[in-house]
Structure 1
Amino acid sequence: MNFKKQIDFVHVSKYFYSLSIILTIVGLISLAVFGLNYGVDFKAGSNVDVSLSKSLTSAQIQPILDEIGMGEGTSITPGEKRINIRFNEVLTEDNNNTLKLEIQKLDSSASFEINTVDTEMAKELGRNAIYAVLLSCIGIIIYVSIRFEWRFGVAAIVALIHDAFLVITVFSVFQLEVDLIFITAVLTIIGYSINDTIVIFDRIRENLRFAKLKTKEDIVVLVNKSVNQMIKRSLYTALTVFIAALFLFLFGGESIRMFSFAMVIGLIFGAYSSIFIASPLWLLLKSKQKNKPVGKAS
């Protein structure tokens, strides 16, 4: 990939801004109408993971659930020599024993792993997940503001929120399950995105030292020059991590499938936000700087 010609990223960014605004509106509508499909980690219920010596179908399991009076609203996910059953209610001890007994009639070698989350625990996990994301964002904006300047910090945090929200949008639109693994993926995406953004910001700061900026056009030239200098590095890094995440999604186990999928889409959003969202936003904030020399960071 050879970038001999300087690309006008600032000019192109307006199309990506429009795309991001459209996706954000879609996300807000989807969250308002459908919400998120919370897993057992964030709502009361029981998750039963059954290891088998042979494969069983949903049709074989459903009568057992009907027998214990928990057939409605229960999700059954069959796999190769395993099956996962998710209940919207907490299993009682009697229900638990009956379920094990009936499944072992179909497969005597069946073994069970049961995770139960009560209402209070689900609320606490939800609050802690929100706190984790908020605290990470606050820490990032403080670090970037001290290390660079507050305009870089604002631009970086907008890009991070953009990436995280668009991943949430995809999970809301397609009603994919949101659990603690998903929160881990979001925090990982935030870490990757800020790393990519900081690399570009660092080059902008280096070029600022030698630039004589008098007009907004001078800042546009500076940003385009900086992004063009770092575009290869950003794309190659994004592509390398993307390929790893994609193969984890395609060939990894069921337990990490949603993590891998969140990483795949998060890497795509993160790559373009660092280039087309964060840097042009810093330019916008810098061009509005008043009563100070344009070329100095403050």
Structure 2
Amino acid sequence: MRSKRNFDFVKTSRRFLTISAVVLLIGLVMLGIKGLNYGIDFSSGTSIDISTSKPLDDTKVRAFLDEQKLGEYTLTSAQNRDSIRFKEALNEQQEKKFKTDFSAQIDKDASYEVNIVDVDIAREQQTNALIGLAVACLGIVIYVSIRFEWRFAISAIASLLYDALFVICLFSIFQLEVNLPFILAVLTIVGYSINDTIVIFDRIRENLRFAKIKSGADLDRLVNDSIWQTLARSINTVITVLVAALCLFIFGSSSIKLFSLAMIFGLASGAYSSIFIASQLWLYLKKKQPLKKVAVKPQSTP
């Protein structure tokens, strides 16, 4: 059934693809200039999470940290919990002295959770994270190629790369910390994005079975109708997960805020890319394929 909606996704796709390319180009330039702000998971250092018996004054804690002279650090405070990240990996003596001094000067009832990552472990985790992303993308390409066709697979992977790079570039521009939960967020985003894309692709494939495609305009109409027919489902799915991610970001602890923020960025990007990148790239590739001509039987003369 032909859609009666007025907005034409296909007709406006070139404008949105151009905007997407410009945004991604700016993001990649900023990524090259500023790089990523790696957390302790991907760079050597020490994290100390301190649970205290009462809320502490940040000024007092910072003065204590400056006196310790343990190098560059960042301090994140929440109610009855302080998270400290040192750029350098502390040795056993430094760690013991820190705990003793903090208990004596700040809070005698404080409890500590210490995580130390050296250079070798940080590099190994970087490598494993990249391998995980590559394997996930490869698995998606193979699945979509078998389940659909190669044009669908290329279009899907292009939209997934856009989503991942979009989130990475945003974290680079705002210098947000990149750690293992961030990698988990990117993998989750890839999963939700491919789900939206597959929903649209499945409808396109179903409509192709019954459509009589005689020109490029027929393909445009088919893609546009397929998007409209699946739009409500895609929007409802994304909004449901977005609400959960927003609640985690607003009410969750500091340890999961960046994970939630990455999810928010990625879910919005995934819904966008499924409509304006994946389906439009498939349409472009499909139009490169010669249309099958309908054979016309010659009329017999009496």
The two structures have a TM-score, normalised by structure 2, of 0.93
Check conservation: 1:7, 1:228, Cα contact below 8 A. no
Give the whole-Å Cα distance in 2 for the aligned partners of 1:65 and 1:92: 16
Check conservation: 1:52, 1:82, Cα contact below 8 A. yes
Give the whole-Å Cα distance in 2 for the aligned partners of 1:63 and 1:97: 19
Give the whole-Å Cα distance in 2 for the aligned partners of 1:241 and 1:158: 23
Q: 1:58 — aligned with what?
A: 58
Q: Which amino acid aligns with 2:79?
A: E
Q: 2:300 — aligned with what?
A: none
1:76 aligns with 2:79: no
Q: 1:225 — aligned with what?
A: 225
CA distances 1:263-296 after superposition (whole Å, capped 9, x unpaired): 1111110111111111011000000114x6389x
Q: 2:102 — aligned with what?
A: 103
Larger Cα-atom Rg: 2
Give the whole-Å Cα distance in 2 for the aligned partners of 1:15 and 1:73: 46
Deviation at 1:21, TM superposition (A): 1.0
Q: 2:25 — aligned with what?
A: 25
- 1:248-263 alignment, distance < 5 Å: 248-263=248-263
Q: Which amino acid aligns with 2:280?
A: P
Local SS of the residue matching 1:162? helix
- 1:1-298 alignment, distance < 5 Å: 4-70=4-70, 72-105=71-104, 106-290=106-290, 293=292
Local SS of the residue matching 1:209? helix
Deviation at 1:68, TM superposition (A): 3.2
Give the whole-Å Cα distance in 2 for the aligned partners of 1:4 and 1:215: 20
Local SS of the residue matching 2:280? helix
Give the whole-Å Cα distance in 2 for the aligned partners of 1:201 and 1:60: 58
Deviation at 1:237, TM superposition (A): 1.2
Are the structure 2 counterparts of residues 183 and 13 from structure 1 closer, same or farther at C-alpha, using a change threshold of 3 Å? same
Query: Unpaired segments of 5 or more residues in structure 1?
Result: none
Local SS of the residue matching 2:235? helix
Local SS of the residue matching 1:14? helix
Task: Tell me the C-alpha RMSD between the 2 structures.
Answer: 1.5
Q: Which amino acid aligns with 1:81?
A: N
Check conservation: 1:41, 1:122, Cα contact below 8 A. yes
Deviation at 1:94, TM superposition (A): 1.5
Local SS of the residue matching 1:98? helix
Deviation at 1:196, TM superposition (A): 0.6
Give the whole-Å Cα distance in 1 for the aligned partners of 2:189 and 2:100: 43
Local SS of the residue matching 1:75? strand
Local SS of the residue matching 1:107? coil
Check conservation: 1:57, 1:78, Cα contact below 8 A. no
Give the whole-Å Cα distance in 2 for the aligned partners of 1:18 and 1:273: 13
Are the structure 2 counterparts of residues 294 and 177 from structure 1 closer, same or farther at C-alpha, using a change threshold of 3 Å? farther
Give the whole-Å Cα distance in 2 for the aligned partners of 1:86 and 1:166: 27
Check conservation: 1:6, 1:224, Cα contact below 8 A. no
Deviation at 1:165, TM superposition (A): 0.6
Are the structure 2 counterparts of residues 19 and 65 from structure 1 closer, same or farther at C-alpha, using a change threshold of 3 Å? same
Q: Which amino acid aligns with 2:96?
A: N
Q: Which amino acid aligns with 2:286?
A: K
Q: Which amino acid aligns with 1:111?
A: S
Moved more, 52-61 or 138-147: 52-61
Give the whole-Å Cα distance in 1 for the aligned partners of 2:293 and 2:67: 73
Moved more, 275-284 or 234-243: 234-243
Give the whole-Å Cα distance in 1 for the aligned partners of 2:73 and 2:244: 33
CA distances 1:25-73 after superposition (whole Å, capped 9, x unpaired): 1211111111010000000000000000112233222333333321x42
Query: Unpaired segments of 5 or more residues in structure 2?
Result: 295-302
Deviation at 1:102, TM superposition (A): 1.5
Local SS of the residue matching 1:41? coil
Moved more, 112-121 or 48-57: 48-57
Check conservation: 1:160, 1:194, Cα contact below 8 A. yes
Give the whole-Å Cα distance in 2 for the aligned partners of 1:67 and 1:143: 57
